[in-house]
Structure 1
Amino acid sequence: HAQAAAGVGGVIKMVMALEHGVLPRTLHVDVPSSQVDWEAGAVSLLTEDRAWPEVGRPRRAGVSSFGVSGTNAHVILEQAPAVEAVVESASRELPVVPLVLTAKSEAALNEQSSRVSSLLEHGEAGLLDAGFTLATGRSVFEHRRVFLGDTTVDGVAVPGGRRVLVFPGQGTQWVGMGAELVESSPVFAARLRECADALAPFVDFDVVEVVREGRSLDRVDVVQPVTWAVMVSLAALWRSLGVVPDAVVG
């Protein structure tokens, strides 16, 4: 018996049945209970999977949970409306996608590297999805490895180590900095717009347009606030990917 998870197990089972249009057979029932008069009504156990066809209305199912203490619950589930498949936008294609791996030992790290490599080679996971999940959906341990295209970086975290982002000053700018990220990263673009709106009462230009067009970067009164806005937006992008700084300087 699944104990406390039994109820949600039944919910998961029926959600999948609603999605796939199949009534699953009842498991572990060799002999039906003698406490039920199976001949008196139209109720029967499913001993084999059965198709659950569309009949012009949503599929519905009831799931009951009977607690040993007497607490009972019943939920009614309804088939979700059909949705159109989302086509991946070409703007999400990135030249390099970091694959961040972490494990408790070097041996476990090598094993994880092999598993990820196999998944990607056999097309079982997309590069962008794999990179996002590895960066945001995994626990962080001391042994770490990052794949950046053909470059591999290994390291062991120092106990008590801290992350610090360093913002550069004037002189690090170049025409086109951040322009691709404005189009490809919603996180970067949203934070850059926030910075532009915050600066708007004090400047005679739009930060987002300067980044997009690369104009006026030879002006001191333009390059300094624009560089600051780009750095703040990059910090937001790193945070969204799971790299949360303990401090920011510059």
Structure 2
Amino acid sequence: SAVEAAVQDGLESAGPVVWVVSARSDAALAAQAGRLAGFVEARPEVGVGDVALSLAVTRTTGFSHRLAVVGGDRGQLLEGLSAAAAGRVVPGVVTGAGAGGGRVAVVFSGQGSQGVGMGLGLYGVFPVFARAFDEVCAELDGLLPGSLREVIAAGGPELDQTVFAQAGLFAVQVALFRLWSSWGVVPQCVAGHSIGEVTAAYVAGVWDLADACAVVAARGRLMQELPAGGAMAALDASSEQVAELIAGREGVAVAAVNGARQTVISGVESVVDELAGVWRERGGRARRLRVSHAFHSPLMDPVLEGFGRVLEGVTCREPRIPLVSGTPGADVTDPAYWVGHVRDTVRFHDVVEAMRAQGVGVFAELGPDGALSAMADGDAGTWVPALRGGQDEPETALRALAGLYAAGAEVDWAAVTADEGRAVRVGLPTYPFQRQHYWPK
């Protein structure tokens, strides 16, 4: 009946939810998933939000063997539980044995990862994200040639303009960081790729929001005002091979070292194209990047003086969260560092190695896509992108959170379920102890 349908609708969440289970062994984890599935199937009056809340606040979530089932409705969640109980792999189910040890780095992607509507799916579901996004946009809109939110919603060529691309990434990344912080994710350190390092500096406490927005807006505007042209190309080459390739050439530089064999060159278009051709002739791969300017190259030199004046007008503080730079010993409170940052090589591979040396095993990529995760070398730990371009944002973000949890990170699941509104605690099945008999020898 219509009444029954309305009651059932009230039992479902407005958005995706996560059911989390932990145990001391894989066998106990599977048994617990099976018990929970049977319990939920037998009680259609119990809402999915009730189950999520009860698992978060009445059960231990910190055992080493972990399971998280993410779904938008009862059927999807039950299918995931049943699959976990049977040892099958299905979408929306994340399992792990906490191998990451709980040490998490948060990394922020650079320009090129922006996309139409980025963050707006989260905006409609998570109030913490929405408040942070609105706060950043309110600061930036007076510094930009238009409404940042409208440009993000519309996408197209305007969003790809440097002035809006960098500001948009900053707004989305800051809001993601606030959201994940509200969920109890505490990073050991933070870092970023190009404009992403500016976001990392802000969340670490180097600038307050007004000063960070002034830096972001000026950086994008000054780059945008440079003459169009220049080019960038990604080569499957080591930094040493690229240094030899470009030796003695004017107007070109190593823009980024992203991996052991992932290096980007940047500069005058004719020179970049010629060198990319030489590399292909040697049997390598070279791919032109879709950019309007040659970032991190000598072609950035004309903006440095003006950007330096902007940085002299803001207050830099010591970071409260360790900020890992690709330049060992760099002083991130010195305005000169951020001026050089526009022009110098992005040594992201060195950043990752430095974080791994600190014991970080899990990297949470905050941005609209998995650009940094895609570049990660195979042995560089567990990479978890918060969002994936073109995929449902709330569900993707919760799956990413589940991935962090399965890798050993601590998550405040009670806070995650706080937005369930009318959810109430229900009695759940008890822990399935795996009893063993020991016989005297």
Residues 102, 173 of structure 1: CA spacing in aligned structure 2 closer, same or farther, 3 A cutoff? same
Q: How far did residue 134 of structure 1 move?
A: 4.2
- 1:182/1:212 contact within 8 Å kept: no
- 1:164/1:248 contact within 8 Å kept: yes
Residues 134, 171 of structure 1: CA spacing in aligned structure 2 closer, same or farther, 3 A cutoff? farther
- 2:21/2:61 contact within 8 Å kept: no
Instruction: Work out which of the residue numbers 146, 155, 176 in structure 1 matches 2:68.
Output: 146
Q: Which amino acid aligns with 1:240?
A: S
Greater alpha carbon shift after TM alignment, 166-175 vs 149-158: 149-158
- 2:128/2:182 contact within 8 Å kept: yes
Give the paired residue count.
162
Matches within 5 A, 1:210-225: 210-214=151-155, 216-225=158-167
% same residue: 37
User: Residue 123 in 1 paired to residue 44 in 2?
Assistant: yes
Residues 119, 193 of structure 1: CA spacing in aligned structure 2 closer, same or farther, 3 A cutoff? farther
Q: Which amino acid aligns with 2:174?
A: V
Residues 134, 237 of structure 1: CA spacing in aligned structure 2 closer, same or farther, 3 A cutoff? farther
User: Residue 173 in 1 paired to residue 114 in 2?
Assistant: yes
Q: Which amino acid aligns with 1:221?
A: V
Q: Which amino acid aligns with 1:140?
A: G
CA distance, structure 1, for counterparts of residue 64 and residue 191 of structure 2? 25
Residues 201, 242 of structure 1: CA spacing in aligned structure 2 closer, same or farther, 3 A cutoff? same
- Name 2:183's counterpart in structure 1: 241
User: Residue 209 in 1 paired to residue 150 in 2?
Assistant: yes
- 1:187/1:237 contact within 8 Å kept: yes
Instruction: Work out which of the residue numbers 219, 222, 227 in structure 1 matches 2:169.
Output: 227
Q: State the SS of the aligned residue for 1:171.
A: coil
CA distance, structure 2, for counterparts of residue 156 and residue 242 of structure 1? 19
Q: State the SS of the aligned residue for 2:146.
A: coil
Residues 160, 211 of structure 1: CA spacing in aligned structure 2 closer, same or farther, 3 A cutoff? same
Runs of 4 or more above 4 Å deviation: 132-138
Residues 236, 199 of structure 1: CA spacing in aligned structure 2 closer, same or farther, 3 A cutoff? same
User: Residue 198 in 1 paired to residue 118 in 2?
Assistant: no
- 1:142/1:156 contact within 8 Å kept: yes
Matches within 5 A, 1:59-98: 93-94=14-15, 96-98=16-18
CA distance, structure 1, for counterparts of residue 145 and residue 171 of structure 2? 15
Q: State the SS of the aligned residue for 1:145.
A: strand
CA distance, structure 2, for counterparts of residue 192 and residue 233 of structure 1? 5
Residues 153, 108 of structure 1: CA spacing in aligned structure 2 closer, same or farther, 3 A cutoff? same
CA distance, structure 2, for counterparts of residue 169 and residue 135 of structure 1? 34
Question: 1:100-122 CA deviation, whole Å, 9 max, x = no partner?
Answer: 32223323322332243234333
Q: State the SS of the aligned residue for 2:67.
A: strand
Q: How far did residue 159 of structure 1 move?
A: 6.9
Q: State the SS of the aligned residue for 1:188.
A: helix
Question: 1:188-238 CA deviation, whole Å, 9 max, x = no partner?
Answer: 101111222333453233333333444631211101121121122122223
CA distance, structure 2, for counterparts of residue 126 and residue 164 of structure 1? 35
> Considering only CA atoms, is the larger Rg found in Structure 1 or Structure 2?
1
Aligned CA-pair RMSD:
3.1
- 2:103/2:187 contact within 8 Å kept: yes
Q: How far did residue 142 of structure 1 move?
A: 1.3
Residues 123, 232 of structure 1: CA spacing in aligned structure 2 closer, same or farther, 3 A cutoff? farther
Question: 1:37-58 CA deviation, whole Å, 9 max, x = no partner?
Answer: xxxxxxxxxxxxxxxxxxxxxx
- Name 2:208's counterpart in structure 1: none
CA distance, structure 2, for counterparts of residue 133 and residue 228 of structure 1? 35
- Name 1:104's counterpart in structure 2: 24
Residues 136, 218 of structure 1: CA spacing in aligned structure 2 closer, same or farther, 3 A cutoff? farther
Residues 213, 117 of structure 1: CA spacing in aligned structure 2 closer, same or farther, 3 A cutoff? farther
User: Could you tell me the TM-score, scaled by structure 2's length?
Assistant: 0.32
Residues 210, 119 of structure 1: CA spacing in aligned structure 2 closer, same or farther, 3 A cutoff? farther
CA distance, structure 2, for counterparts of residue 187 and residue 172 of structure 1? 23
Q: Which runs of 5+ in 1 are unaligned?
A: 1-86
Residues 179, 136 of structure 1: CA spacing in aligned structure 2 closer, same or farther, 3 A cutoff? farther
Q: How far did residue 186 of structure 1 move?
A: 0.9
- 1:135/1:241 contact within 8 Å kept: no
User: Residue 184 in 1 paired to residue 125 in 2?
Assistant: yes
CA distance, structure 2, for counterparts of residue 202 and residue 168 of structure 1? 22
Q: Which amino acid aligns with 1:112?
A: Q
Residues 161, 183 of structure 1: CA spacing in aligned structure 2 closer, same or farther, 3 A cutoff? closer
Q: State the SS of the aligned residue for 1:172.
A: coil
Q: State the SS of the aligned residue for 1:147.
A: strand
- 1:207/1:226 contact within 8 Å kept: yes
